[in-house]
């Protein structure tokens, strides 16, 4: 692992969904009533409490959460704290519920395991496995190591899609490394089911695909997007790991979105042709032209 300057200052966090996808016009009145009566899994009674853990130090912070390294019975875990006041203020109950439901169903070598969850009067607590080397953000790797990382990410995303979900927020801050250099995808707060096309404007601006942006600007005429948004994000991720920056940067959000939808990527003259081809297959503006995960896993760029 090599030293590196910061690629994005500050780290961008995901955009809160503009509307509640569970309360669309397709839902019946009975569905809405059942949703509002629902007892969320993180609200169920648990024998665990914050007093069962020794807080060691803060290791992360999100838009509505903080993450601490904690210890219990000589084992280390990551403890994510979500403030109930923020959840109530921004109407995030269903979003937190999805995060718990989805991550608890995913059991894969390359996905951060959600071990348990509980709550008290002020906070919701998610206990996950601890990845000792932290996230990929602000780290630099050799090109061969980057290929290993991307291959593990592709394998995890393939599993997530097969399980019926979209991640929607693939970026360095949400991908972690264990002591043994096993890649783990985490942070499922922006994830959802992929059984129907989505229109929610969410994700991280630098990593948003053109179809997410187009849906946000023309929601009444947009057909929605699907799991191919994760493939776009993998292309952006690979570009950033190689170049320490994302391909479409602009301090003006509207200009950045326009660049994502209209501009082609500029590569370095000495870039590997296989690297260029892999990126271009991920970053097709038309999602129907984007490579699928099987094609990417078989791509010559990753055959090393």
**Where is the binding site for ATP, in residues?**
80, 89, 173-174, 187
Residue 279 CB coordination number (10 Å) = 20
**Measured between alpha carbons, how far is 18 from 46 in angstroms, rounded to an integer?**
32
- Single out the catalytic residue among 31, 122, 169, 226: 169
**Measured between alpha carbons, how far is 220 from 34 in angstroms, rounded to an integer?**
27
Closest by CA to 168, choosing from 108, 248, 225, is 225
CB 161 within 8 A of CB 293: yes
CB 299 within 8 A of CB 278: yes
* 15 DSSP assignment: B
Q: Cite the annotated binding site by residue number.
A: 80, 89, 173-174, 187
Closest by CA to 285, choosing from 249, 267, 259, is 259
CB 67 within 8 A of CB 80: yes
Please enumerate in sequence order all residues whose Cβ is within 8 A of that of 237, keeping only pairs 6 or more positions apart, or say none: 150, 153, 170, 171, 172, 175, 207
Q: Is 169 a catalytic residue?
A: yes
Active site residues per annotation? 169
């Amino acid at each position: 692992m090599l030293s590196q300057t910061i690629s994005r200052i500050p780290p961008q966090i995901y955009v809160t969904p503009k509307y509640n996808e569970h309360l669309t016009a397709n839902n019946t009145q009975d569905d809405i009533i059942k949703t509002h009566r629902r007892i969320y899994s993180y609200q169920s009674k648990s024998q665990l409490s914050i007093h069962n853990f020794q807080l060691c130090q803060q290791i992360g912070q999100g838009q509505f959460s903080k993450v601490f390294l904690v210890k219990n019975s000589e084992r280390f875990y990551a403890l994510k704290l979500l403030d109930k006041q923020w959840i109530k203020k921004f109407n995030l109950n269903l979003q937190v519920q999805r995060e718990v439901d989805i991550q608890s169903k995913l059991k894969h070598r390359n996905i951060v395991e959600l071990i348990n969850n509980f709550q008290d009067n002020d906070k919701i607590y998610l206990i996950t496995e601890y990845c000792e080397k932290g996230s990929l953000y602000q780290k630099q790797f050799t090109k061969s190591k980057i290929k290993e990382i991307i291959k593990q990410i592709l394998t995890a995303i393939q599993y997530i899609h097969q399980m019926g979900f979209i991640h929607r927020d693939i970026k360095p801050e949400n991908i972690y490394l264990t002591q043994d250099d096993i890649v783990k995808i985490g942070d499922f707060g922006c994830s959802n089911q992929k059984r129907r096309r989505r229109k929610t404007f969410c994700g991280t601006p630098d990593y948003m695909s053109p179809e997410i942006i187009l849906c946000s600007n023309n929601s009444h005429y947009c057909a929605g997007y699907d799991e191919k948004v994760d493939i776009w994000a993998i292309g952006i991720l690979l570009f950033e790991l190689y170049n320490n920056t994302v391909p479409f940067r602009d301090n003006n959000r509207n200009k950045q979105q326009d660049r994502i939808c209209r501009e082609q990527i500029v590569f370095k003259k000495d870039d590997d042709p296989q690297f260029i081809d892999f990126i271009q297959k991920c970053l097709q503006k038309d999602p129907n032209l984007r490579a699928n995960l099987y094609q990417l896993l078989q791509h010559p760029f990753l055959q090393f």
